């Protein structure tokens, strides 16, 4: 005898159940993707904040190094004067 039943993939009830399952999976994946995007945006904002803070610190460090160079030059000039007056 031949089997007249069509495979379960062609069964309308099975197809509807599979479609429903796929839609649920799609919604879940979309929700996860949206959450990942929000987390990525938050991390990006934090990185930008740290980058700006780093740039400020670099500018401050550069300014302090310049002040140190100026102070060393003035101290050296003062020492030379003291030695000359000696």
Q: Cα separation of 13 and 21, whole Å?
A: 12
Q: Are 15 and 9 in contact (CB under 8 A)?
A: yes
What band does 6 get if pLDDT is binned at 50, 70 and 90? Answer: very low
What is the tally of structural domains in the chain?
A: 1
Question: Does residue 56 belong to any structural domain of this protein?
Answer: yes
Neighbours of 14 (CB within 10 A): 13
Alpha-carbon radius of gyration of the chain:
36
Predicted local distance difference test score (pLDDT) of residue 34: 98
pLDDT in tens, 9-56: 578 889 999 999 999 999 999 999 999 999 999 999 999 999 999 999
**C-alpha distance from residue 29 to each of 11, 36, 82 (Å):** 26, 10, 78
Question: Does residue 6 belong to any structural domain of this protein?
Answer: no
Question: Does residue 36 belong to any structural domain of this protein?
Answer: yes
Question: Does residue 29 belong to any structural domain of this protein?
Answer: yes
Predicted local distance difference test score (pLDDT) of residue 9: 55
Hey, is 86 helix, strand or coil?
Answer: coil
- What's this model's pTM, rounded to 2 decimal places? 0.59
What band does 86 get if pLDDT is binned at 50, 70 and 90? Answer: confident
């Amino acid at each position: 005898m031949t089997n007249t039943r069509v495979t379960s993939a062609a069964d309308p009830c099975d197809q509807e159940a599979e479609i429903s399952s796929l839609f649920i999976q799609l919604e879940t994946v979309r929700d996860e993707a949206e959450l990942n995007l929000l987390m990525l945006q938050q991390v990006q904002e934090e990185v930008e904040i740290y980058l700006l803070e780093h740039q400020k610190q670099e500018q401050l460090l550069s300014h302090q190094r310049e002040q140190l160079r100026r102070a060393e030059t003035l101290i050296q000039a003062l020492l030379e004067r003291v030695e000359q007056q000696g």
